[in-house]
Structure 1
Amino acid sequence: MDILSVIGVILAFVAIIGGNYLEGGHAAALINGPAALIVIGGTLGAAFIQTPLPVYKRSLAILGWIFFPPTSRLQQGITQVINWSNVARKEGLLGLEGVADTEPDLYARKGLQLLVDGSEPEALRSILEVELITRENHDLAAAKVYESMGGYSPTIGIIGAVMGLIHVMSNLADPSALGSGIAVAFVATIYGVALANLFLLPVANKLKSVVMQQSRYREMILEGLLSIAEGENPRSIEMKLEGFLE
């Protein structure tokens, strides 16, 4: 679990609710159904309009990475590549066939299979780079769904505020209706800004970071496989791949 994400969520809520309490406000004053409907519904609607269905599905699939990101496997990956290199030096590239069959990572398995099939280094690079770039772009597009929603949310909040003020102005003769209209106006603005800056934009940036970490792992695997294909010494390969470590 990503402990910083957990602390961040808790701290954000404590800061907003606690600050409101210290100013003499009440938590109930921040709860407003119409304002939430306007902001959340409007933001989701705008995101639906601009986002292709496969990208939106992927954005939902990777949302859990905020608290449970994929494990960083750079050091483990380097160890694996060195083991593959030793097998290739002792048994030849065909000796990697059994390794490829048991490799759980699909990207690494594909690269190993290309080695076993005798692919040239340039062909190996070309094939694996296409997959690397495609995966990275697909996941970055999914992360940008939250970024775009973070851009729409404050504006939708302003729309909710204006709608609340219109309601107020149309009921000036009825003082009992003024309070609810003003509440919707101000709370909608709070919802829009808070949703963007405390959730959507941080989520987008965290997901982008995780995607780039995964891409770095795949780049390391690619460089390792190319080095094996070119017959480099395992020690030289290890020194090269250690450059990917933080």
Structure 2
Amino acid sequence: MDLATLISLVGGLAIILIGIATAGGLQTIPSYIDVPSMIITFGGAFICVFGSQSVPGFIGGVKTIGKALNEPKFDMAGLVKQIVELSNTARKDGLLALEEASNNIEDPLLKKGLVLTADGTEPELVRAILEAEIESIDGRHKVGIKLWEDIGAQGPAWGMIGTLVGLVNMLNNMSDASALGPNMAVALITTFYGSALANWVCFPVSNKLKLNNEKELTYKGVMVEGILSIQAGENPRVTEEKLKAFMSPADQAAYNAANGSGE
């Protein structure tokens, strides 16, 4: 579970409720629950984005909120160590030994790269194939990211539409004092809902998906560089130092301490 995203969503709701309660008391919280405003703002935002997607694409995009709430595990240090071990295997037993070693590899990209290398595929072609796989992963991730960005953009817009609906109804019923309050509530709360949807939910979700995507692309990029280094017959020590450059200084220090490497 990604605590930062969870705390952001729960904390955002808590801040809104505390602000309402502080300003008008706990008894005013129910007055911020308005079904017509919810239908216009949330329903309008989601249905508008739905219209620009395929049904499977929309459903898959909405489900990506689960990925934002789950922290991905990219063990960069473990990956570097694994590639160095594979480099030692190739240096000792030849590139053909990588095909057998690939049987114990779980990541499909790394597995594919090792098999291609063992088959004697040209380095340029290996890079092209693996980078095409990475671009495909990036493209799939961006579909979910864009969906949440689009919902975030539509939220305030539909909030404004709700505001106009409320104002029109209010102006049409100026002679009925009892209708002024409900219509004014719709006019104001829809804007509130639209802003909350965009800034409380969509902004953190889309940005966390972007961050996770960048981490995965970097992780996959290390695999590509490691495979090409093995294929080029580089010294495992050189391969290790090359791949450590993708790690943060703190992670490098931890890796060196655990593996007895470094200066």
User: Which TM-score bucket, shorter chain as reference?
Assistant: over 0.9
Say what the alpha-carbon RMSD is for the aligned residues: 1.3
CA shift for structure 1 position 8? 1.2
Q: 1:159 aligns with which of 149, 161, 167?
A: 161
- Decide whether the 8 Å contact of 1:6 with 1:67 is kept in 2: yes
Match of 1:189 in 2: 191
Does residue 217 (structure 1) correspond to residue 219 (structure 2)? The answer is yes
Match of 2:94 in 1: 92
Could you report, residue by residue, the CA deviation over 1:116-150 in whole angstroms, capped at 9, with x for unpaired residues?
Answer: 11111111101111111121122112211100111
- Bigger mean CA offset, 154-163 vs 133-142: 133-142
Match of 2:10 in 1: 10
CA distance change for structure 1 residues 40 and 27 in 2, over 3 Å: closer, same or farther?
Answer: same
- Decide whether the 8 Å contact of 1:111 with 1:222 is kept in 2: yes
Q: 1:232 aligns with which of 230, 234, 243?
A: 234
Match of 1:19 in 2: 19
Q: 1:141 aligns with which of 137, 140, 143?
A: 143
AA matched with 2:201 = F
- Decide whether the 8 Å contact of 1:58 with 1:139 is kept in 2: no
- Name the CA distance, whole Å, in 1 between partners of 2:58 and 2:227: 33
- Decide whether the 8 Å contact of 1:47 with 1:145 is kept in 2: yes
- Decide whether the 8 Å contact of 2:80 with 2:244 is kept in 1: yes
- Name the CA distance, whole Å, in 2 between partners of 1:239 and 1:53: 46
Q: 2:181 aligns with which of 179, 183, 189?
A: 179
Match of 2:243 in 1: 241
Gaps of 5+ in 1: none
Provide the aligned length of Structure 1 versus Structure 2: 246
CA distance change for structure 1 residues 7 and 112 in 2, over 3 Å: closer, same or farther?
Answer: same
- Decide whether the 8 Å contact of 1:147 with 1:201 is kept in 2: yes
CA shift for structure 1 position 54? 4.9
CA shift for structure 1 position 51? 2.5
- Decide whether the 8 Å contact of 1:55 with 1:138 is kept in 2: no
AA matched with 1:19 = G
Does residue 46 (structure 1) correspond to residue 54 (structure 2)? The answer is no
**Partner-residue secondary structure (3-state), 2:169:** helix
- Decide whether the 8 Å contact of 1:120 with 1:229 is kept in 2: no
Gaps of 5+ in 2: 249-263
**Partner-residue secondary structure (3-state), 2:70:** coil
- Name the CA distance, whole Å, in 2 between partners of 1:228 and 1:147: 40
| TM-score under structure 2 length normalisation | 0.90
**Partner-residue secondary structure (3-state), 1:50:** coil
Q: 1:203 aligns with which of 202, 205, 208?
A: 205
- Decide whether the 8 Å contact of 2:5 with 2:204 is kept in 1: no
- Name the CA distance, whole Å, in 2 between partners of 1:41 and 1:19: 25
CA shift for structure 1 position 107? 1.1
CA shift for structure 1 position 63? 1.9
Where does structure 1 differ by over 3 angstroms across 4 or more consecutive aligned residues?
52-55
Does residue 123 (structure 1) correspond to residue 125 (structure 2)? The answer is yes
Match of 1:65 in 2: 67
- Name the CA distance, whole Å, in 1 between partners of 2:100 and 2:136: 28
CA shift for structure 1 position 186? 0.8
**Partner-residue secondary structure (3-state), 2:245:** helix
AA matched with 2:6 = V
- Name the CA distance, whole Å, in 2 between partners of 1:54 and 1:73: 31
CA shift for structure 1 position 95? 0.9
- Decide whether the 8 Å contact of 2:62 with 2:147 is kept in 1: no
